[in-house]
């Protein structure tokens, strides 16, 4: 492993269409509090002094991204794939000439506009030199029910002890993350970066996140996200 001190880079896959949002365009460009959702995520990393640079992965023919990225600190990679996993994998491949094996990559969902520099710092400092890496997550506090056979009227209760809801960023060293995603064969089984790493038999560190870092998936989520962002920082130019 490279003996030079590791750096921290942000990677935001943003090539999806957000079908469940039922919006007129890609979900990442939906405005939350007057600003595109993706821009909120970008600005969180730009506000953090710990992040060396931010990369955004979009589809090759994305016509919007150039109008919303700031003039500094961000590079657009037009190599997005059909799935989130493919977009991350393609983005990491494109960064091979730039990143070192021991650099940390923080992969963040474009649809989580509530990220802030405090959560970024907490993830980095709490994960520290963990041999695998770490991710933000929330402990499950509600009673969990599972429908049986897809019938809403037939339920079983799932023990919530030890259950966490994964958030992003998810932070892993560049070499390990590339190896984990290269080893994954079924994109449908890899719902986040941690699951790819776990498939190698490794256990990432869980770092408690915050409800404000919610994922905007349904139209009803927009208002909740706007409430959390009511005191958001100004946009960087």
23-27, 106-110, 121-125, 127-131: least confident range: 23-27
CA gap 51, 80 in Å, rounded: 22
pLDDT computed for residue 237 by the predictor: 40
**Helix%, strand%, coil% for the chain, nearest 5:** 30, 25, 45
pTM: 0.91
Q: What is the CA radius of gyration of the chain?
A: 18
pLDDT of residue 232: 53
Query: pLDDT for 4-48, tens place per residue?
Result: 899 999 999 999 765 445 456 788 999 999 999 999 999 999 999
Coil, strand, or helix at residue 121?
Answer: helix
**In the chain, what are the domain boundaries?**
8-231
Strand-strand pairing, 205-208 and 144-148:
unpaired
Q: Which CATH architecture has domain 8-231?
A: Alpha-Beta Complex (3.90)
Q: How far is CA 68 from CA 120, 161, 204, in A?
A: 22, 42, 33
């Amino acid at each position: 492993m490279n003996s030079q001190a590791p750096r921290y880079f942000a990677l935001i896959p943003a090539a999806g269409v957000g079908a469940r949002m039922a919006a007129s365009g890609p979900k990442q460009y939906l405005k939350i509090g007057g600003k595109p959702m993706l821009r909120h995520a970008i600005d969180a990393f730009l506000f953090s002094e710990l992040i060396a640079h931010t990369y955004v992965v979009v589809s090759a023919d994305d016509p919007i991204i150039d109008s919303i990225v700031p003039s500094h600190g961000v590079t657009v990679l037009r190599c997005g794939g059909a799935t989130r996993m493919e977009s991350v994998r393609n983005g990491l491949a494109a960064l091979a000439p730039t990143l070192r094996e021991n650099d940390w990559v923080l992969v963040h969902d474009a649809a989580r506009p509530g990220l802030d520099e405090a959560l970024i710092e907490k993830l980095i400092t709490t994960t520290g030199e963990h041999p695998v890496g770490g991710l933000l997550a929330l402990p499950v506090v509600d009673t969990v029910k599972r429908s049986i056979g897809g019938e809403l009227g037939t339920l079983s209760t799932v023990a919530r002890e030890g259950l966490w809801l994964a958030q992003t960023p998810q932070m892993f060293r560049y070499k390990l993350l590339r190896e984990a995603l290269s080893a994954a064969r079924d994109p449908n089984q890899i719902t986040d970066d941690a699951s790819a790493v776990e498939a190698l038999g490794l256990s990432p560190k869980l770092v408690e996140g915050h409800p404000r870092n919610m994922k905007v998936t349904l139209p009803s989520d927009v208002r909740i996200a706007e409430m959390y962002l009511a005191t958001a920082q100004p946009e960087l130019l």
